[in-house]
Structure 1
């Protein structure tokens, strides 16, 4: 049986109503959503805000050995906030939804598999008459996925399960936040302020007591030396932090020198399957992943794995089905503090799909991988030719080299995945590519 893949990477439910969209523009987000192609099987229906160029679709399906001719591509109608996103208006667009009835029968669809399960995914499930056969539909249809992707709700779930997390508070009161932040800063410790419906470090801000302190995991850092400065800063920025007063704000003690790591699972009717693990590369916010990266070297790995599985079991018991990642911070002293959960496809999901389908191995082992987004002055075809001319193109026999995992966006960015038999070899491929292309 086949599925409907929905590339709804950017939704108001996921990032907040008042989110600032990426500078590369919404069409670039539409290209990013094409990463879901790495999980496509024969006869799937692929729903995207921007249909992939034929050349990129052929490239992906050739590597995954998927029959491109068997796939059906549906481009979503344009609505707020613009071309490049799967608009919430799709859930009310009768002509858009109507086509899924016939397509679902023709392709023998049994479920909808979205990047993120929102109201559009629910509407498509009903239109395709697969709501009852889509795993976890009842929980998702009632907004359960939105609840679990909240950083504020995560802290409550983690504390209830006894999972180690950073010290902090969740509040709707800027004075409460200021009291906590001022106390930490007076003690010489930094804090990180998080918009609880953002991802990839977007919306985060580090407030620290000393100039030039480390600020990994946030777009901006602010030096505040007194309680008065803390009060003024939080009061003046509270509308941004709280999404115009609609959301709670998370403020936590910032632990410097941490290694960001993750574990990814697939929660199904049969249980919990490990799907991948790795290190998140930060510069200062998300700059790619390394698989397995430094996660295998941290002293607290076994404890982190136990905690991550406990969280996955909790989430599965609530009724969620689909991909889930657990992010952690391996502290210099040893323990791994769990940072958040992402109940959706993540920035690593397509890479682990690639690892299983192209390399023929489980995502957790066998090869070493580095994935990053970089700038190119060329189109997809010429970018590939430059990679090949430098001897970096993927070698099908050795199963090493560079794969282009995301087509070139309107702002001239593309994503590459460098694969080696060792961490050193994967890094050498990535370094050679970095020398060939400009950094993002």
Structure 2
């Protein structure tokens, strides 16, 4: 079986392109290597360094010598993202055909449901190998990642939502925001930006931390709301071309997710966990700790309800249903993401494939960003000499799960442990090797908090 893996992290939408500029080296997209199997052909933003390829395949058991990596020439945004012009480059396509060497492509897997990937598959005569290609080709990937569309679908299927609405006009936004601020803080969300970079918290009073957002803006009255919208309207709406979401903000909430796989055979649960921000996304815990059984059941039931309309529309792939559990233990769904997320390879490859199918029953996966080291190879060497690296016999230890991020000289890592206490302790030991302490999870709950992590932060609301 020959598979084509395309490490594209963004649709070519204005918002996603803005986020792509923050990932100039393409290090984030290199997580695609975790999904590689023998004989796969990988289309990458840049060629991963040998140390990363060696390390990942040594854990997954994939024979590195059987893989082929093809990198298109830089495009209009450089080499950090696989834009459509790069995937359409004639020289690249010729090299890709040569690497396939006459083999038919049986499956096309991409990080993001992008029409440019459909076009590439069609060029190779492999359109049939891309699940949901009809939906993706007509721009469906944007629907599966839109916070505005999410609100409509969530409202339609009846899952619990934070109070709020979708805004497309300035007078309507002013009225909704002013009215809702009378009862407390709000979160404003750009339709398509990711990782909290499109979020802002609005509060009628000072002192509200912007967990999961870029900042908190204090707006004490209607005049302040009007002034804020005049200043931020173009940013919120993409110069008036889009809409944005306003929702109630619950400080101190636990942010959780449940991912599902949508195939022609139906919808199946894939994995769940907690997302931690400080104030932006910094860590995750899989499975989510401290959830009551009825909360887990509600998360999975509501997540599947959100999947059904998209499945009926023809979307095929992964969908992450994001939610919050408030300090009062109320569950509200906040958005969905129709793509291979930054969590997928953690639960699916690190958890299910490497640790074992029972990982969620007797292990905890604690991912933290990021361990500051001079290079990926030095990180590997430190793990080896310290004895902290993952041990297949005990099924515990540390794995480096992302490529080296040169912008901050750090690596994301996962601690596999029998419980959360032990995971935090191993994280402290790891950080002591280099004398650094990354921002990582800190308890901010109203009951049963986990033990303190290496350094302080807050949970995303």
TM-score (norm 1): 0.94
User: Which residue of structure 1 lines up, in the alignment, with residue 224 of structure 2?
Assistant: 229
Structure 2: unaligned runs, 5 residues or longer = 440-461
In the TM superposition, residue 123 of structure 1 has moved relative to its aligned partner by: 1.9
- Partner of 2:192, secondary structure, is coil
Tell me the SS of whatever aligns to 2:34: helix
Report whether the alignment pairs 1:409 with 2:419. no
Equivalent positions of 1:124-135 (< 5 A) are 124-135=120-131
Which residue, 416, 419, 422 being the options, matches 1:419? Answer: 416
Indicate yes or no: 2:168 matched with 1:169: no
Contact 2:166 2:246 in 1 (8 A): yes
Structure 1 residue 144 corresponds to structure 2 residue 136? no
Residue matched to 1:21? 21
Q: What's the CA shift for 1:338?
A: 0.7
- Aligned CA distance change for structure 1 residues 74 and 295 (closer, same or farther; 3 Å): farther
Instruction: Report matched runs for 1:248-327 at 5 Å.
Output: 248-294=243-289, 296-297=291-292, 299-327=294-322
Distance 1:399 1:322 in 2: 29
**1:185-204 maps to which residues of 2 (within 5 A)?**
185-187=181-183, 189-204=184-199
- Give, in whole Å, the separation in 2 of the partners of 1:267 and 1:293: 22
User: Aligned residue for 2:9?
Assistant: 9
Deviation at 1:432, TM superposition (A): 2.3
1:295 to partner: Cα distance: 5.8
> Which deviates further from its counterpart, 386-395 or 220-229?
386-395
Match of 1:346 among 341, 348, 366: 341
Deviation for aligned residue 1:20: 7.7
- Offset of 1:417 from its aligned partner? 0.7
* Whole-Å separation in 2 of the counterparts to 1:20 and 1:99: 25
Query: SS in structure 2 opposite 1:198?
Result: coil
Range that drifts further, 370-379 or 236-245 = 370-379
Q: For residues 207-238 of structure 1, what are the alpha-carbon distances to aligned partners after superposition, in whole Å with 9 as ceiling and x for unaligned?
A: 11121113221011111111111110111111
Distance change (3 Å), C-alpha of 1:16 and 1:244:
farther
- Does the residue aligned with 1:294 lie in a helix, a strand or coil? coil
SS of 1:341's partner is: strand
SS at match of 2:209: coil
Aligned length: 435
Query: Which deviates the most, 297-306 or 147-156?
Result: 297-306
- Which consecutive unaligned segments of at least 5 residues does structure 1 have? none
- CA–CA distance in 1 between the matches of 2:67 and 2:388? 30
Structure 1 residue 63 corresponds to structure 2 residue 38: no
Q: Which moved more, 1:96-105 or 1:210-219?
A: 96-105
Counterpart of 2:73 (choices 54, 65, 77) is 77
TM-score normalised by L of structure 2: 0.89
| Residue 104 to residue 366, structure 1, CA distance change in 2 (3 Å) | farther
- Offset of 1:167 from its aligned partner? 1.4
Contact 2:174 2:226 in 1 (8 A): yes
- Which stretch of structure 1 is more off in the superposition, 73-82 or 10-19? 10-19
